[in-house]
Chain A
Amino acid sequence: DVKVTQSSRYLVKRTGEKVFLECVQDMDHENMFWYRQDPGLGLRLIYFSYDVKMKEKGDIPEGYSVSREKKERFSLILESASTNQTSMYLCASSSSGTEEAFFGQGTRLTVV
């Protein structure tokens, strides 16, 4: 079974903090993605990566950055957390750009 593991299920951070969300996949997938999920808006793509050290902006990259130093690990960074970044964050991986994505359990981030 493909496993995508996100380091935290729940996080509470203060406004202005730098926040790291970690994601690890164990299937040697080339592609990894970060989405945020908000009610009524579905999943919106923040950043994705097709290879180590490679990253591409998604639809809502503002306020976020990413790091992919190793193939299995893809980190999402909130440089200075704000309350409008309170959301559910989902990491996913896939073997190719057109194949199905496998999702982690999600990290519910609350910024106070």
Chain B
Amino acid sequence: AQSVSQHNHHVILSEAASLELGCNYSYGGTVNLFWYVQYPGQHLQLLLKYFSGDPLVKGIKGFEAEFIKSKFSFNLRKPSVQWSDTAEYFCAVTVNTGGFKTIFGAGTRLFVKA
């Protein structure tokens, strides 16, 4: 069965620290990859996405992610986090199993200390 694994459930960083959130998926076919973010009290929203082309994708608010096909990974990075990045981050993968289905990871709660 297809699955998405996020390596950390909770991450605590100080402001200006660098961030990397791991995401691995299990599916051998073509995928579309997403990172979504959910700020406290708000709805889920798209951070960035990868469909094809340059495997290094830039998103909003200084986030980027790199697709490494050989490792089935799509890790999220940010060089310097801010207090306002405190949120829950979800990696998601869309696969085609006779119909398109999007599978989400368990999420990573990021807390940034001011």
A binding-site residues for B, Cβ under 8 Å: 4, 31, 33, 35, 40-45, 48, 50, 56, 58, 90, 92, 96-98, 100-101, 103-106
Contacts and interface: CB of A to CB of B under 8 A. Distances in A.
A35 B43 CA distance: 13
Interface in B85-114: 90, 92, 94, 96, 99-107
A62 to B, nearest CB: 16
A42 B99 contact: no
Contacts of B42: 105
**Contact residue range for chain B?**
20 to 34
A98 B99 contact: no
Interface of B: 4, 6, 9, 32, 34, 36, 42-46, 49, 51, 90, 92, 94, 96, 99-107
A4 B43 CA distance: 10
Contacts of B104: 35, 42-44
Contacts of A44: 104
Question: Closest 10 CB pairs between A and B?
Answer: A97-B100, A43-B104, A42-B106, A103-B44, A42-B104, A100-B46, A103-B43, A105-B43, A98-B32, A42-B107
22 contacts: A4-B43, A33-B102, A40-B106, A40-B107, A43-B90, A43-B92, A43-B107, A44-B104, A45-B102, A48-B101, A56-B99, A90-B43, A96-B100, A97-B96, A97-B99, A98-B32, A98-B94, A98-B100, A100-B49, A101-B46, A103-B43, A103-B45
Contacts of A100: 34, 46, 49
Contact of B99 (A4, A50, A105): A50
Contacts of B92: 43
B17 to A, nearest CB: 24
A53 B9 CA distance: 38
Contacts of B100: 31, 96-98
A106 B38 CA distance: 11
Contacts of B51: 98
